[in-house]
């Protein structure tokens, strides 16, 4: 999850609608697909963003392309090494 692309939205602690609007900005930029990435506690928010786009705003215009899950090892001075779950959801535009 370390590659940076113009069509990637990294999910953090903001509200789901902030990330939905970021996805719209990518679509208006001409991209045919959006990659939503999150790790740890933000994974449920990433799923929410994908579902809001798919079922509310872009109904019949976007489909779930690929979902990848994984684990990253984080190195922390305080906690030492620990693992964090990750997810990558690819949304593909079917119409524009």
Reported as a single tens digit per residue, the pLDDT across 24-77 is 999 888 889 999 999 999 999 999 999 999 988 888 888 999 999 999 998 988
H or E element that contains 33: strand 33-39
Q: What is the pLDDT of residue 17?
A: 95
DSSP 8-state symbol, 20: H
Architecture per CATH, domain 8-93, reads as 2-Layer Sandwich (3.30)
- What is the pLDDT confidence band of residue 2, given thresholds at 50, 70 and 90? very low
Going 18 to 22 to 93 to 60, the CA torsion angle's sign is: positive
């Amino acid at each position: 999850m370390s590659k940076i692309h113009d069509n990637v939205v990294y999910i953090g602690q903001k509200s789901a609608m902030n990330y939905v609007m970021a996805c719209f900005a990518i679509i208006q930029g001409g991209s045919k697909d959006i990659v939503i990435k999150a790790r740890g506690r933000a994974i449920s928010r990433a799923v929410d963003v994908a579902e809001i786009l798919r079922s509310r705003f872009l109904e019949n215009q976007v489909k779930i392309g690929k979902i990848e899950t994984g684990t990253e090892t984080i190195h922390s001075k305080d906690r030492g090494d620990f693992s964090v779950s990750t997810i990558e959801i690819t949304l593909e535009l079917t119409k524009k």
